[in-house]
A and B are shown apart, each in its own frame.
Chain A
């Protein structure tokens, strides 16, 4: 494996909400009463069944509770041993799954307040992502405006599978607010399950949903690019989190070909998709979904024709690699430095 360097930025770690009751202190009286009176229990998404092997490395799985629910574990497992300067917390709690926009907004607000108090306040290396209630664009923008005052929030977080394709114009006020506040928009693996988790319907298995994340990222990139998000918001960065990386180039070769063929349909797309991706889109490293051989890795990175696309991530506590082997074999020291330090800082203006 390539050698890690100190001072890196981990762009995808997952602090877990122990239980819905953990959010009660961050809900107002009305919502606290709603949660308790109506007997709402935990919000656990099928995207990450807590006991699934992929959801926690065996040596990162606590004896009790959810993987990633204790700061001390995160410090002991990644922040200290990987000698990280910074780590960006992306909570994966099922707040996007409820159908009421009011409830969704209340839960998002509580989740962000919980993250600030219980994680960001307790370790100076941690930064946060703003989880937004995408069912209401108005409420999502309000939550961005509220959290953006706290400079430790460095990105807006959305799921790759939501209610609509992410390029849809109705969502653009979210992107406008993000761009204004120097917040990249992180698109993370996972579904609100408001649509079937594949483009051809409901599969049978958890493994199918997980493999299918990559296809969801592909369709979202198409949507974001052809709807013209980056023509309208050229400074906006988007980061594909836990997306996989080996599909990027062949996918873009196909998109580029069709764009050349039918670009008259979307004349506002003012640059080639390949250029847009190189300037505005980034990808987190893990899960690195290529075979563990150096020759293949060298070809894959060469196909990207850019050393700026990939950002370091451990995807803690998910089980994507063992030991310290977060960096696949074959990365040059220069590329390691780009991935671990330069690229994250170039992507997230608020990282200091």
Chain B
């Protein structure tokens, strides 16, 4: 959690973590409203000026659930040269990458072209943001790697974008959001999984997104905290859909990463899927093995925001049930609920598990030497 100045002063007095880490969820931002225009055809520049972006939710400016802080970001993360938090490479280097010894940083751009009703515009914006990630970020700092952002509701154009970027070492995964028009296991999204599997790229599913559905199964809630806590429920439903539609069975080399939705729910969901599948498997004969097996073999989780039990050791039970080889450390920089690398794991974790958690699992998954 970002507790502002006191926290920063305390952090400054601690010995610096020298161990190299991977940060598997960094959010790069645009410094200006028109920063993507050089990567967009004139037609789309005109479209944005005249009509704007119409997502699967009604507001053109401003979130339906106002964040707790501007841009949901740390107040100390505004770059000195101006612009929103996360929009300056040099300040990101100074505030995040250098002091934390980040060896691998995975970029997940948000609000970048997904969840948009005009699917052609969505594809154009996603392609633009992918070019922008290379120009502004990954070509200028080799520690940073990009995610291929794809127009999520049009599986075919999304697959084409993946194929175009396949083999480009700037990119280490495909990025989807958890809330879409349909649950992520549905057939309309299969071309994305097929292309990702062929390209050998994991598919990251980040919390958020607009799909037009009420964000609880009982309608629209009132508060930001409900949206935030609710990301874990959206992610659970998305993962259940992926398992039960047989996506992992059909794409056995596909790897998926659950990003920024917690991981404490994973064992319970897997147990519940297994128990229910024992009863109802005749309805889903394409799910050939217990659901927990697919999850154990093909799913990873980023850590932030880590669940926060009163007794911190309780979380180790959950991690042991998931497997220490399946967690990828992430800060969520520059967002307010940033997890501080030097503080997330208490003493008592073995050196091997600590290394896997902070760096090893990510390097292996993303194919970084």
Interface pair A207/B183, CB less than 8 Å apart: no
- Say whether B265 contacts A247, CB under 8 Å: yes
Chain B 187-222 interface mask (CB, 8 Å, partner A; 1/0): 000000000000000000000000101111111111
Task: Give chain B interface residues in 205-246, CB to chain A under 8 Å.
Answer: 211, 213-226, 228-230, 232-234, 236-238, 240-241, 244-245
- With A199-B234, A219-B217 known as contacts, the answer to whether A265 contacts B183 (CB < 8 A) is no
User: In the complex, which residues of chain A have a beta carbon less than 8 angstroms from the beta carbon of B273?
Assistant: 211
Contacts of A302 in B (CB 8 A): 314
A287–B279 alpha-carbon span in the complex (Å): 12
Interface string of A155-198 (1 = CB under 8 A from B): 00000111111111000000000000000000000010011111
- Whether the Cβ atoms of A259 and B225 lie closer than 8 Å is yes
Q: How far is the CA of A174 from the CA of B275 in the complex (A)?
A: 35
Interface centre among A166, A256, A289 (most CB of B within 10 A): A289
Q: Is A204 among interface residues, defined by CB-CB distance under 8 A?
A: yes
Q: Which residues of A lie under 8 Å from residue B337 when comparing CB positions?
A: 258, 261
Query: Which of B20-28, B127-135, B173-181 has 4 or more CB atoms under 8 Å from chain A?
Result: B173-181
Q: For the complex, is A255 an interface residue (Cβ under 8 Å from B)? A: yes
* A288: nearest chain-B partner, CB-CB: B275
Q: Chain B residues with Cβ under 8 A from A198's Cβ?
A: 183, 213, 217, 237, 240-241
Query: Shortest Cβ distance from A86 into chain B, in angstroms?
Result: 27
Say yes or no: B230 contacts A199, CB within 8 Å.
yes
**What residues of chain B lie closer than 8 Å to A287, measured between beta carbons?**
272, 275
Contacts of B307 in A (CB 8 A): 250, 253-254, 257
Measured CB to CB, the closest approach of chain A to B309, in angstroms, equals 5
| Given A196-B217, A249-B314, A253-B307, A226-B226 contact (CB < 8 Å) | yes
A274:B310 contact, CB within 8 angstroms:
yes
Interchain nearest-CB distance for A303 vs B (Å) = 5
Quick check: B308 and A219 within 8 Å, CB to CB? no
Inter-chain contacts of B186 with A (CB < 8 A): 204
Instruction: Name the residue in A199, A206, A223, A247 with the highest tally of chain B Cβ atoms < 10 Å from its Cβ.
Output: A199
A216 proximal to B (CB < 8 A): yes
Q: Across the interface, do B280 and A262 meet the contact criterion of CB distance under 8 Å?
A: no
**Closest CB-CB distance, A198 to chain B, in whole Å?**
4
Q: Are B183 and A201 in contact (CB under 8 A)?
A: yes
Q: Indicate whether A308 reaches chain B with its CB closer than 8 angstroms.
A: no
Q: How large is the interface on B (under 10, 10 to 19, 20 to 34, 35 or more residues)?
A: 35 or more
In the complex, how many angstroms separate the beta carbon of B314 from the nearest chain A beta carbon?
A: 5
CB distance from A192 to the nearest CB of B (A): 9
Q: Are the C-beta atoms of A249 and B184 separated by less than 8 Å? A: no
Complex CA distance for A67 and B65, rounded to whole angstroms: 44
A260 close to chain B: CB less than 8 A: yes
Q: Which residues of B contact A274 (CB under 8 A)?
A: 310
> Cβ of A250: which chain B residues have Cβ within 8 Å of it?
262, 264-265, 267-268, 307, 318
In the assembled complex, the Cα of A255 lies from the Cα of B223 at a distance in Å of: 13
Q: Say yes or no: is B251 at the interface (Cβ < 8 Å to chain A).
A: no
Across the interface, A195 reaches (CB within 8 A) one of B219, B224, B226, B229, namely B219
Q: Taking the complex as formed, is B50 at the interface, i.e. its CB lies under 8 A from any CB of chain A?
A: no
**In the complex, which residues of chain A have a beta carbon less than 8 angstroms from the beta carbon of B282?**
53
Interface contact A207-B214, CB-CB below 8 Å: no
* Given contact pairs A226-B226, A265-B68, A199 touches B215 in the complex (Cβ within 8 A): yes
Counting chain B CB atoms within 10 Å of each CB, the highest count among A264, A265, A291 belongs to A265
Provided the pairs A196-B214, A199-B230, A207-B284 are in contact, do residues A212 and B237 lie with their beta carbons within 8 angstroms?
Answer: yes
B113 at the interface (CB under 8 A from A): no
Residues of A within 8 Å of B218, CB to CB, are 160-166, 191, 195, 216, 219-220, 223
Closest Cβ–Cβ distance, residue A257 to chain B (whole Å): 4
B294 to chain A, nearest CB (A): 14
Question: Which residues of chain B are within 8 angstroms of A223 by Cβ–Cβ distance?
Answer: 216, 218, 221-222, 226
Q: Are B179 and A199 in contact (CB under 8 A)?
A: yes
| Interface: A333 (CB within 8 A) | no
If A208-B244, A249-B314, A257-B305 touch, whether A219 touches B271 (CB-CB below 8 Å) is: no
Complex: chain B residue closest to A55, CB-CB? B279
Closest to A207 in B: B280
Nearest CB in chain A: distance from B335 CB, A: 11
Cβ of A299 under 8 Å from chain B: yes
- In contact, A262 and B68 (Cβ under 8 angstroms): yes
In contact, A257 and B271 (Cβ under 8 angstroms): no
B78 within 8 A of A: no
A218 to B314, CA, bound (A): 20
Q: Are B237 and A260 in contact (CB under 8 A)?
A: no
Distance in angstroms between the alpha carbons of A291 and B291 in the assembled complex: 13
Q: Which one of B236, B276, B317 lies within 8 Å of A299 (CB-CB)?
A: B317
The answer to whether B366 has its CB under 8 Å from any CB of chain A is no
A205 within 8 A of B: yes
A199 touching B237, Cβ below 8 Å:
yes
The complex places the Cα of A289 from the Cα of B276 at a distance, in Å, of 9
A261 contact set on B, CB distance < 8 A: 1, 68, 336-337
Decide if B277 is an interface residue (CB 8 Å cutoff). Answer: yes
Q: Once the chains are docked, how many angstroms separate the CA of A240 from the CA of B219?
A: 18
A100 at interface, CB cutoff 8 A: no
Most buried by B among A166, A198, A212: A198
CA distance A240 to B6 in the complex (A): 40
Contacts of B224 in A (CB 8 A): 262, 265
The reply to whether the CB of A16 lies closer than 8 angstroms to some CB of chain B is no
Does any Cβ of A come within 8 Å of B345's Cβ?
A: no
B229–A212 touching, CB < 8 Å: no
A265 to B65, CA, bound (A): 11
Residues of A within 8 A of B (CB): 52-54, 160-168, 191, 194-208, 210-212, 214-216, 218-220, 222-223, 226-227, 244, 246-247, 249-251, 253-262, 264-266, 274, 287, 289-291, 296, 299, 302-303, 305, 319
16 contacts between A and B (CB under 8 A): A54-B279, A54-B280, A161-B218, A196-B213, A196-B214, A204-B186, A204-B244, A207-B284, A214-B268, A216-B216, A219-B226, A254-B232, A254-B262, A254-B308, A266-B223, A291-B274
Ranked 9 nearest A-B pairs via Cβ? A250-B264, A253-B307, A198-B237, A219-B216, A257-B308, A215-B233, A247-B268, A246-B268, A289-B272
Apart from A162-B218, A202-B182, what 16 extra A-B contacts exist at CB < 8 Å? A53-B280, A165-B218, A166-B218, A205-B283, A208-B240, A211-B244, A222-B221, A222-B229, A223-B216, A247-B265, A247-B269, A250-B264, A253-B309, A257-B308, A265-B225, A266-B225
